């Protein structure tokens, strides 16, 4: 069991686009196991490789005690229904905010052994998969908040002990409507 240090908001690695896994080797299997251990130790519902400083397209998740992982995930939205849930992030500890997500997604990808896998996700699992896949593109959940919650998140992060009073950039979600002057 190996727990790796979790990178916090402001660490540049969280803003980088991760690259696809090419070698399904022991190093990858160690990474997946360490991600699972680190996620469970921190009581998280998911963790992506960039959160432990590794720029590879891999994440783990846990729901109802069942731990899973996906390598090189490809997420497809199903339908146009949305959901709003209180969401948090191990890289933004202790600061949950309401976040809008798709209700249903289908994910295809690979296991750490290189076997193809597919997950039909709905509700909470969909939230986790959307959140973790965002990490692989350098997107954080605070980027997807509405303007009011984003302002609250900025203030809360600034006030958080771990941030040292510095608020690095919260980005506008690629899917957020453009509001001139809102940022
Ligand atoms: Zn996160």
Note the Cα 175 to chain centre separation in Å.
16
Mean pLDDT of 46-74: 98
pTM here? 0.92
Contacts of 71 (CB under 8 A, 6+ apart): 21, 24, 28, 32, 57, 58, 109, 110, 111, 112
Are 150 and 62 spatial neighbours (Cβ–Cβ below 8 Å)? no
Instruction: Calculate mean pLDDT across residues 32-58.
Output: 98
Span from the CA of 98 to the centroid of ligand 1 (angstroms):
14
Q: Note the pLDDT of residue 64.
A: 95
Which pLDDT score is estimated for 175? Answer: 55
Ligand 1 mean position, distance from CA 135 (Å) = 7
Percent of the chain having pLDDT more than 70?
Answer: 93
> pLDDT tier at 181 (50, 70, 90 boundaries)?
very low
Across the range 163-170, mean pLDDT stands at: 80
> Among this protein's residues, is 169 annotated catalytic?
no
Position 182 pLDDT exceeds 50: no
The C-alpha R_g of the chain, in whole angstroms, comes to: 16
Q: What is the sign of the dihedral through the CA atoms of 48, 52, 56 and 62? A: negative
Among residues 132, 154, 161, 169, the one annotated as catalytic is: 132
DSSP 4-16: PPPPPTT-GGGGS
pLDDT score recorded for residue 174:
60
Going by the DSSP 8-state scheme, the letter that residue 105 receives in this structure is E
pLDDT band at residue 29 using 50, 70 and 90 as cut-offs: very high
For the segment 43-66, the average pLDDT, to the nearest whole number, is 97
Question: How far is Cα 37 from Cα 55, in angstroms, rounded to an integer?
Answer: 18
pLDDT tens-digit series, residues 129-153: 999 999 999 999 999 999 999 999 9
What are the start-end ranges of the H helices in the chain? Answer: 26-41, 124-136, 147-159
Q: 81: CA distance to ligand 1 center in Å?
A: 22
Q: How confident is the model at residue 183 (pLDDT cuts 50, 70, 90)?
A: very low
CA–centroid distance, residue 114 to ligand 1 (Å):
25
Give tens-digit pLDDT for 80-137: 999 999 999 999 999 999 999 999 999 999 999 999 999 999 999 999 999 999 999 9
């Amino acid at each position: 069991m190996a727990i790796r240090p979790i990178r916090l908001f402001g660490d540049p690695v969280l803003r980088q686009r991760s690259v696809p896994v090419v070698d399904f080797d022991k190093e990858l299997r160690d990474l997946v196991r360490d991600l699972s251990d680190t996620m469970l130790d921190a009581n998280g519902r998911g963790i992506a490789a960039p959160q432990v400083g590794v720029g590879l397209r891999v994440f783990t998740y846990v729901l109802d005690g069942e731990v899973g992982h996906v390598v090189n995930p490809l997420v497809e939205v199903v339908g146009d229904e949305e959901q709003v849930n209180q969401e948090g992030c191990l890289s933004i500890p202790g600061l949950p905010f309401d976040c809008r997500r798709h209700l249903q997604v289908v994910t295809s990808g690979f296991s750490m052994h290189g076997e193809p896998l597919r997950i039909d996700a709905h509700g909470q699992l969909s939230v986790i998969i959307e959140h973790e896949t965002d990490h692989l593109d350098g997107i954080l959940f605070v980027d997807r908040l509405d303007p009011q919650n984003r302002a609250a998140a900025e203030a809360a992060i600034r006030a958080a002990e771990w941030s040292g009073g510095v608020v690095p950039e919260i980005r506008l979600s690629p899917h957020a409507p453009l509001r001139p002057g809102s940022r």
